[in-house]
Structures are given as structure tokens and as C-alpha cells.
Amino acid sequence: METKIRPRRDVFDSFAPNTSNSPQPSFFATQTNMPSTPPTPTPTPTMLSWKTSRRTISIEDRPRVMGILNVTPDSFSDGGRFFGNTELPSGSAVSKCGDLSEELRVEAAVAAGLQMQADGADIIDIGGESTRPYSTPVDEATETARVAPVIAALAVRLDIPISIDTSKASVASAAIDAGAEIINDVTGLEGDPKMAELAKQSGVGVCVMHMRGTPQTMQDDPTYENVVEEIRDYLIARRDACLSFGIELEKICLDPGVGFGKTHDHNFKLIRGIHRFTDLGCACLIGHSRKGFIRKRLAAFTETSGREFNPMAGTLGVSLAAAAAGAHLIRVHDVAETVQAIEMFNACKPTHD
């Protein structure tokens, strides 16, 4: 069945419930670990798309935009937005409050998610635990309580898929039950031995990221001989491990993990080397939004001008560099500005007519 959600952008090829791949309630009891030495299949790139548990997302004509919706008190850029001293989005029943009640927190997050869709987001990535450098981990119950109500409330109102940003299988399972179609795991499906089986049984799309160490240790002097090639090798190994475990190639997205266990120089090398991650037979995501390497690069401009640093301009610059290099998905905080910048970038590209 063909469904065009937004005719202007024609984002999705199809939408159909995945009734044959619903999560199995008993999968935790039968979990086995991902093979440590999987065979190495040789995937052949087919049509440019990424499958979730319910639909196929075309990534052929332009990068798709994944909007970041953090429901945390301590994420590096937007943490606390839905916890305290928060202005609710325009049109909310309550315009301003101190510490948000659970109902108001969910209302504010849902309004933000709906605005992202209106701004042109193709996916909304919802997270309940900060993974910024030296962040404090949270337990499964706390993380689930943050994300599940928001996902449940948004899933019935959105026309675009929801991704759960977590490395815990129990949190991902609750999110999938609430309506999430993608698992975005900063540990590359290695942090929780139950995650790969959940992904396989539920049929969700997976985003497999590279991270050196953990959020608590990743910035302790990260070193590489050749950062681009080492991370390429890692992503190939994780792709092959996912395939060996039974996750379909079309459901795998690879992320080199800009800012996760990399120096500022490493991050620029990864951006310049994006083409090394886009030829691996599956989707490639770049997540650079508002990160420290942008601030450091532009510090001289803000010092000279006397203006307060605004991360949006630098983030947009990297987004367009990623688009030019062939990145399939771009994960950002500023959805409207990114969508419009990519629209103009594509409109100005030379044609072969």
C-alpha cells in the first residue's frame, strides 16, 4: 500500500503494520549473546532505503532529518527542557511553570515532537538518559519512566517514525511497546547482551554507533592510528555481527559516532571521511549537532564579535558538509533550520539536464 504522508517531501515509500514481527513477551528468557566471531557476509547495496518495523524510509534523494527530543535533566545541549523552569511550547494550556509535573512534562515533550514533524523532521529520536561526556548513568526504571509515556502519547499522533535512544534492552522493549520503530544504540548493540535479540524479534530498525569506552570514560585521551579507517572497520564488524544474528541489512544504519570518544581533530576527520561510511551497503547517520568541536572551531569568531556563541550556524555548516558527502541521515536539534538548509542545498546543486 502506498501512503504519501507529506506530498511535498514524499518521505516514505510505504507503511504497513508489521504484524508478523511483533515483540515476543518471553524473549528475555530465551536470549543468547551476539556471536563474538561472526562470519563475514558480503552485503550488496540495493535500493537506498532504511526499514523500520512498520515502514520503509527512502534515503535516495536527500538526507533525512532525525530530530532530537531529549526528556532528560542533564543532556549537554537541551537537558532539563522538560523538567524545570521550562516554557511550554506555544499553544500549551500552561505557558510557564517551575518543576513540571508528570502530566505537564509529557505535554511539553509531545508538543515539541509535533512541532518537529511540522518543521519537516523525518524521524524523532527520543532519549531518557544523557550520554554527554562524564554524564551520570540512570537506572532502567527511571529511563523507562521518562520515555515511555512520551512515546505512547506521540505515536498515535505522528505520521513519522519514533526512534528510542537507549543502550538498555528493557527500556527499548518498553519503548517499542509504546510505539517506537527504531533502536538507536550508542554502544553499537554491545552494551546489553539482550539488545540484538530484541531488535531481531521486534523487527525494528537499528542505528549502530561507534563509541570508544563509555560516556563516563570516552573523552579520557582517545587515540587512534587512523580514526576513519579504524571506525570503518568497527562498523563493518558490527554490521556483519548484526547480519549474523538475523537482523536484515535493510534495517541497519551505521553511525561513526562524532563526539563519542574522539578529539576535536578526530571529529573533523570523520566529517571529511563520511564517504568511507556510505558505501557499506546500509544507511549512514551523522550526529554532530551542537557538539564541542563546533564551539571550539568558532570560538575566535565569537570572541572577535562579542556576540554570544550560537551553535546553530556551525551545526548547519556541518550538516551541509555531511549532505554533500552523501550522508543518508542527519541527527539534529534544530529541525526547521536544517530541513530548510538542505532544501536550498539540493535546489542549488548542479543538474545534468
> Which secondary structure element, helix H or strand E, spans residue 162, and what is its range?
strand 162-165
Q: How far is CA 294 from CA 69, 263, 285, 345, in A?
A: 20, 12, 18, 20
- 214, HSE (Cβ side, Cα atoms, 13 Å): 9
User: In whole angstroms, what is the distance from residue 339 CA to residue 118 CA?
Assistant: 11
81 is catalytic: no
User: In whole angstroms, what is the distance from residue 311 CA to residue 296 CA?
Assistant: 10
> Which alpha helices (H) appear in 17-91, and where do they start and end?
none
Judge whether 109 and 69 are in contact, CB under 8 Å: yes
Please state the φ and ψ torsions of residue 252, each to the nearest 5 degrees.
-100, 135
- 202, HSE (Cβ side, Cα atoms, 13 Å): 30
Active-site residue (options: 81, 262, 291, 296): 291
Judge whether 255 and 297 are in contact, CB under 8 Å: no
- 329, HSE (Cβ side, Cα atoms, 13 Å): 31
269 is catalytic: no
Judge whether 112 and 100 are in contact, CB under 8 Å: no
User: In whole angstroms, what is the distance from residue 286 CA to residue 319 CA?
Assistant: 8
User: In whole angstroms, what is the distance from residue 124 CA to residue 162 CA?
Assistant: 5
DSSP string, 117-142: HHHT-SEEEEESS--STTPPP--HHH
Active-site residue (options: 54, 200, 238, 331): 331
Instruction: Just list the catalytic residues.
Output: 291, 331
